[in-house]
Amino acid sequence: MFDVAHCADVASLSLLFLARSARIFLTMLDPLLDKRLIFVTGKGGVGKSTVTAALGKALAARGKRTLVLETDTFSAMEDLYGYEGTGLEPVKLSETLYASNLMAEDCFVATLTRFVPGERVARAVINNRVARVFFKAAPSVNEVTILDQIRVFYEAEDQGKPRYDHIVVDLPASGHAVTFLNVPATMNGMMRGIGPIAKMTAQVSTIINDPKQTAIAAVCLPEEMPVNETIELASNLKSVLGRPLTLAIANMVHRAPLHDDDRPIFDALLARVRANAPGTSSLLFDEEPTDESDALARLVEGNALALGWHDRDQRYLGELRSRVDAPVIELPIFYETSGDDVVANVARQLGGDSSSLDHPLAI
Amino acid sequence: MTASPRSDANAAPLRHLLDSGRLIVCVGPGGVGKTTTSAAVGLRAAMAGRKTIVMTIDPARRLANSLGLDDLTNDPQQIDLSDALNLTGNEDHGGELWAMMLDSEKTFNDLVDRLAPDKGALKRAKENNIFRLLSSALHGMQEYMALEKLHDLYTGGYFDLVILDTPPTKNALEFLETPGRASTFFDERIIKWFLPNRKSGLLGRVFNPGSIVLGLISKVLGESFVNDLVEFFDTFHYLQETLQQRGELIEFILRDPLTHFFIITSADPRRIKEAVYFHEKLGQLEQQADFFIINRVIPRFHPEDIAAIEDTDLDALLREADHEASADRISGLRQRLETHYLQLARLAIRDREAIASLATKVGHEALRLIPLLGEDVHNLTHLLKLSDFITPLAPDARVATAKG
C-alpha cells in the first residue's frame, strides 16, 4: 500500500530546503540581484502578490535589506507575511525584511507636505473640503503621489548608505501596470515640465525607465490569456516606456505526474482502463460518492487529466519563451493551504537551486 | 452541492434570473475565468431566446477568443449561434448573443462628439492638453466610460439582457462606486471655483473666493497646468450636467430589482476570501449577490482510492503495457501515479473545504460549481460545456458534449 506519511512530511523537507539554500547556487533570482527597484506585475489572479511576497522573502534571506510595498490595495501582504500595517512607515518583519501598504491618501498628504512651504499650509489645503474633493476625483493624482513615496524610500539613506538594498513593489494588474508606470511621464507632459511637481515626475520616470537599476517582472500562469497578456506587456513596456521587461515568472506550473520515457506505458494503461470502464472520466465531475471498484480507473483518469494540464502548460510556456525577450522562470503549484507556507516554498524555489523543482510536494 | 448538472435544485432559480433579468453584473477576483464565465452565462441566456450582450471592461481579450472571434471592439459584434444550437439540438428561440469590449478612449471621444454644443467647443476640447491626455492615458476613465456604455446599452432598447463583466478586485469596487465619484468630479460647486468669472478675467479668477486654494494648486502643479485645467473645466462645463444625470440613472439601474449580481470565483481559499470580501462590499452598497459561481473546481478525486487499489493489480496492468519493463521501473511509475493522484485528491479536498466555508456564509443554494475541465475554453463547444454547469438548457436537451 502507498504510504501517506511518506509524502506529507513537510517539516523534514523544509529542513532539506534550508540545507540546500545555504549552499551557493545559480538561482532564479539572478536577473534581479543587481536591481534596487523591482516592480512586479501580472494579470489578476496569477499569484502576483504571493510571488512578490516570496521575492521579498528570498532577497531578505540573502541578507539584503528589502522593502516590500503594496500600492493602495486590499493588502495581501498582511495576510501573506502575517503582519498588521500602520500607515506609510514600513513595518519591520525581520532583520532585513520590511513592508508597507502605500495608501493613496497618506501618500497624498506626504507629497503635499513636501511641496508646499510648511506643514501648516499643507494641512490648510488638505483640510479644505473643495481641494480634497478635487484631488480625490482628479485622475492620476493617486498614482503620482504613490510613486513619489516610492521615490522617497528609494532615495532614503542612513549614514550615507541606501536604507534599502531592494524595494519590491506589488503593482496593479498588468492591464493597468503600463498606465500606472507611465503616469509620471503623462503628468509631466500635462504640466509641460513646469513646476516642482513636474520636476518630481521627471525624476520618478527616469528611475522607472532605467533598466539598469529598475526591474519590471511579470508573473503569469501557463495559460493562454496570462501568457498573451505578458507578451503584450513586454511590447507595451518597449513602446510606451521605452524599456524592456526584465523577467517573466510562470507561476503554478503543473508538474508532470510521470517521466517522459514512461508515457507509452501510461498511454497503453489509459487505453485499457477506458476500454474496461468507459464512463470514468465524466464521473470525476460528479460530486456524489462513487464506487470503490472504480478506484483504479479514477487514479488513471486523474493522472491523465494531470498529464493534460502539464502538456498544455508547456505549450503555453513555449509560446511565452519564443515571444518574450526576457528570461522565463517556472514555479510549480504548491498545495499547502496557508498563504504563509506557499510564500516560504516559493521563496525557497526562487532562492534555491532549480533541482528543487522535482520536489514531491509540487504538482 | 453539486458540480454536475444531474441533480439540480439550484439551476431553476438561476435560469429564472437569466429569463427575466435585465442586467447581470459579474464581479469577482482575477484569474478565475470570470470573463469566460460571463460569456457562458450570456450564451445560455441567448440560447433561451433573449437578446443578450456581454460587455467586458477587462483589458484582456479572452472573451473574443472563447467566442471564436479574433478581436472584440467597442462596437457590439454578433456571435453566430447556429453551431451552438446544432450541437445541443436546441430550437432557435429567437435569442441573440452579442459581445463587446470597452474602449475607454473611443467611448470618451464619442461622448464629447455627441454632447458638444457646437463645433468650436469640440475643437477647443480636442486641443486641450488635459483632454488629450485624459482621454488616452489616465486611470479612472475606464470606469466612467463603462458606465456611459452601460447606459447606452441598457437604455438603447435593443437588448433584453446586458451582462457586465467587471475588472477584478479593487477596480470592480471602484466601478460600483463610480456613479458617485463621477458626479463628484463634476460637482457644480467645485467647477465654480475654476470657472471664469464673467466680470473679471483671469485675475478675477485667481482672486475670487477660491484664490488661496487656486494659488496653492498653481504653485504645486505649475501655472500652465492650472490654466489648462481652468480651460478644461470651462470647455467641459456642458459634460457636467449630462454625466451627473447619467450617474444618477446608473445608480437607479443598479438598484433595479431586475439587476442581479453574480460573484465569480475559484475554490482557491484566497479567492474564496476575496469572494467573501465582494459579498460584504456589495452588502455595504445595499446590494446582494444572487449567485456565487465557483469555477475551476478540482474534480472529485478520493484519497481513499489509493488504499482501495492493490499495488499488484496496478503493477500487472502496467506490465501488460510493456512486457520488457523492469520491476523497478514498473513500481517506480506506479508510485509516481499514486503520489500524484494523492496530491490531486488533497487539492480536491482543500477546494471543497473552502467551498463549504463559503456555503456557511452565503448558503448552499447560492452556489454553482464548474469543474476544472481538461481543456481550455477557447471555442463555442467548450463554452457550451461551461454553461451547462451553470444551468442546464432543459431537462431533456442536455449538451451532448458535456457527457464526453
3-state secondary structure B153-181: HHHCCCCCEEEEECCCHHHHHHHHHHHHH
The answer to whether A296 and B310 have CB atoms below 8 angstroms apart is no
Identify the bridge partners of residue A69 per DSSP, sorted by sequence position: A100, A169
| B165 inside domain | yes
- For the four alpha carbons of A42, A45, A46 and A50, in that order, the dihedral sign comes to positive
User: What's the pLDDT score for residue B11?
Assistant: 78
**Position B117 in a domain:** no
Mean pLDDT comparison of A35-49, A167-181, A198-212, B272-286, highest-scoring range:
A198-212
Using a CB-CB distance cutoff of 8 angstroms, which residues of chain B are in contact with residue A124? 212, 216
Sign of torsion, CA B196 B198 B203 B205? Answer: negative
Q: What is the pLDDT of residues B35-77, one digit of tens each?
A: 889 999 999 999 999 999 998 865 455 567 667 777 888 889 9
A208-217, A225-234, A354-363 — most confident range: A208-217
Distance CA B43, CA B381 (A): 11
In a domain, B44, yes or no: yes
- pLDDT tens by residue, A95-153: 999 999 998 888 888 888 888 777 777 777 777 665 665 665 565 777 888 999 999 99
Binning pLDDT at 50, 70 and 90, where does residue A284 land?
Answer: low
Residues B63 and B95 in one domain: yes
Confidence (pLDDT) at B70: 77
C-alpha cell at B330: 514498473
Same domain, B80 and B206: no
Counted domains in chain B: 3
CA A197 – CA A187 distance, rounded (Å): 9
Task: For residue B109, tell me if it sits in a domain.
Answer: no
- Residue B310 sits in the same domain as residue B222: no
pLDDT for position B149: 83
| A162, A125 contact by CB (below 8 A) | no
- Restricting to B residues 207-246, those with a Cβ less than 8 Å away from any Cβ of A are 210, 212-213, 216-217, 219-225, 228
- Contact present, A179 and A240 (Cβ < 8 Å): no
Confidence (pLDDT) at A358:
39
Longest dimension (CA), chain A: 82
Q: What pLDDT was estimated at residue B102?
A: 81
Q: A125 to chain B: which residues are within 8 Å by CB?
A: 213, 216
Q: What is the mean pLDDT of chain A?
A: 81
Portion 371-400 of B in contact with A at CB < 8 A: 371, 374-376, 378
- Cβ atoms within 10 A of the Cβ of A335, count? 18
B161 plus B16 within the same structural domain: yes
Q: Is the dihedral of CA B184, A175, B374, B276 positive or negative?
A: negative
Contacts of B148-153 with C-beta under 8 Å, sequence gap 24+, read B148/B107, B148/B108, B148/B111, B148/B246, B149/B55, B149/B74, B149/B100, B149/B102, B149/B107, B150/B23, B150/B55, B150/B250, B150/B253, B151/B246, B151/B249, B151/B250, B151/B253, B153/B53, B153/B55, B153/B76
pLDDT in tens, A315-361: 999 999 999 999 999 998 865 555 557 778 888 888 774 444 334 33
In this structure, what C-alpha cell is assigned to residue B200?
473679471
Using DSSP bridges, classify how beta strands B259-266 and B289-297 pair: parallel, antiparallel or unpaired: parallel
pLDDT at A61: 92
Of B29, B133, B184, the CB nearest to A44: B29
With beta carbons less than 8 A apart as the criterion, state whether B181 and B40 touch.
no
Torsion of CA B118, B124, B126, B132, to 10 degrees: -140
Measured between its terminal Cα atoms, the distance across chain B in Å is 22
Among A204-208, A255-259, B319-323, the range scoring the smallest mean pLDDT is B319-323
What pLDDT, on the 0 to 100 scale, is given for residue B171? 54
Q: What angle do CA A288, A294, A300 make, to 5 degrees?
A: 110
Q: Is the pLDDT of residue B335 over 80?
A: yes
Mean pLDDT is highest, among A90-94, B61-65, B136-140, for A90-94
pLDDT one-digit tens code per residue, B67-94? 777 788 888 999 988 888 888 888 888 9
Determine the residue of chain A that is closest to B57 in CA distance. Answer: A175
Whether A36 and A166 have beta carbons less than 8 Å apart is answered as yes
Name the residue among B193, B311, B325 with its Cβ closest to that of A130: B193
CATH number at residue B165: 3.40.50.300
In chain B, residues with a C-beta closer than 8 Å to the C-beta of A255 are 340
In a domain, B4, yes or no: no
Cell 432598447 locates to B157
B52 plus B201 within the same structural domain: no
pLDDT of residue A177: 85
Q: State the DSSP string of B291-319.
A: EEEEEEEPP---THHHHHS-HHHHHHHHH
List B residues 68-97 in contact with A (Cβ-Cβ < 8 A).
none
Say if residue B278 is in the same domain as residue B372.
yes
**Partner-chain contact B138 A361, CB within 8 Å:** no
Which residues in chain B touch residue A74, judged by CB atoms under 8 angstroms apart? 169-170, 274, 277
pLDDT (mean) for B111-140: 65
Non-local CB neighbours of B61 within 8 Å, separated by 6+ positions: A225, A228, B71, B72, B101
Instruction: Verify that B294 and B384 share a domain, yes or no.
Output: yes
Q: Does B5 touch chain A (CB under 8 A)?
A: no
Q: Which of A217, A44, A221, A309 is nearest to B60 (CA)?
A: A44
- pLDDT on residue B137: 43
Specify which residues B54 forms β-bridges with: B99, B163
Give me the pLDDT at residue B395, please. Answer: 47
Chain B positions touching A281 (Cβ under 8 A) are 374, 404
Query: How far apart, in whole angstroms, are the C-alpha atoms of residue B65 and residue A352?
Result: 38
Q: Do B222 and A302 touch (CB under 8 A)?
A: no
Measured in angstroms, the CA of B154 and the nearest CA of chain A are apart by 26
What are the pLDDT digits (tens) for B214-240? Answer: 666 666 666 666 677 666 666 666 666
Q: Confirm if A360 and A303 have CB atoms less than 8 A apart.
A: no
Q: How confident is the prediction for chain B on average, in pLDDT?
A: 77
3-state secondary structure of B241: helix
Question: What pLDDT score was predicted for residue B3?
Answer: 42
Q: Which of B59, B333, B338 sits opposite A299 (nearest CB)?
A: B338
Q: Is the pLDDT of residue A24 over 60?
A: no
Q: Taking residues A270-276, what's their average pLDDT?
A: 89
Cβ neighbours of residue A327 closer than 8 Å, sequence gap 6 or more:
A31, A247, A248
Half-sphere exposure of B398 (CA within 13 A, CB side): 12
Q: Tell me the residue length of chain A.
A: 363
Report the 10 Å Cβ neighbour count for A345.
Answer: 25
Q: How many CA atoms lie within 13 A of B22 on its CB side?
A: 15
* Distance (Å, whole) CA B60 – CA A257: 31
Name every chain A residue with its beta carbon within 8 A of the beta carbon of B193: 130, 134
The alpha carbon of residue B361 is apart from the nearest alpha carbon of chain A, in Å, by 20
User: Which residue among B61, B139, B325 places its CB closest to the CB of A179?
Assistant: B139
- Residue B339: predicted pLDDT: 92
Q: Within an 8 Å CB–CB cutoff, is residue B316 touching chain A?
A: no
Q: Is residue B133 part of a domain?
A: no
Q: What is the pLDDT of residues B278-332, one digit of tens each?
A: 898 888 878 889 999 999 898 888 888 899 898 998 999 899 888 888 999 999 9
B4/A contact by beta carbon, under 8 A: yes
B368–chain A Cβ distance below 8 A for any pair: no
Give the pLDDT confidence score for residue A150 in this predicted structure. Answer: 96
Domain end point (choices B295, B327, B343): B343
pLDDT at B372: 85
pLDDT of residue B283: 86
Interchain proximity B343–A186, CB inside 8 Å: no
Give the residue with greater pLDDT, B163 vs B1. B163
- When pLDDT is averaged across residues B115-126 and rounded to a whole number, the result is 70
Find residue B294's DSSP bridge partners: B265, B369
Question: Is residue B31 assigned to a domain?
Answer: yes
Where in the sequence is the domain holding B151, given as residue range(s)? Answer: 11-103+140-186+259-303+349-403
Write the pLDDT tens digit of every residue in B152-189. 888 888 999 999 987 665 555 555 665 555 445 444 44
Q: Does position A84 have pLDDT exceeding 80, yes or no?
A: yes
Q: Flag if B189 and A130 touch (Cβ within 8 Å).
A: yes
Asked if B294 and B213 sit in the same domain, the reply is: no
Do B74 and B44 have their domain in common?
yes
Decide if B145 is inside a domain: yes
Same domain, B309 and B395: no
- Tell me if A223 and B32 make a contact (CB, 8 A cut-off): no
Together in a domain, B316 and B394 = no
**In angstroms, rounded to a whole number, what is the distance separating the alpha carbons of residues A358 and A257?**
11
In tens, the pLDDT along B16-40 reads: 999 999 999 998 887 788 888 999 9
Q: What is the CATH number of domain A23-256+326-358?
A: 3.40.50.300
**What is the distance between the alpha carbons of residues B24 and B26, in angstroms, rounded to a whole number?**
6
Model confidence at A65, in pLDDT bands (50, 70, 90)? very high
Q: Please choose, from the candidates A186, A204, A93, the residue with its C-alpha nearest in 3D space to the C-alpha of residue A138.
A: A186
How high is the pLDDT of residue A202?
93
| pLDDT for the residue numbered A51 | 92
B267 with B284, same domain: the answer is yes
Inspect the interface and report whether the beta carbons of B31 and A44 lie closer than 8 Å.
yes
Contacts of B2 in chain A (CB under 8 A): 286-288
% of residues, chain A, pLDDT over 90: 44
Helices B211-221 and A119-127 meet at what angle, rounded to 10? 120
Which among A130, A139, A308 has the least Cβ separation from residue B213? Answer: A130
Q: What is the rounded distance in angstroms from the CA atom of residue B279 to the CA atom of residue B275?
A: 6
What pLDDT band is residue B391 in, cutting at 50, 70 and 90? confident
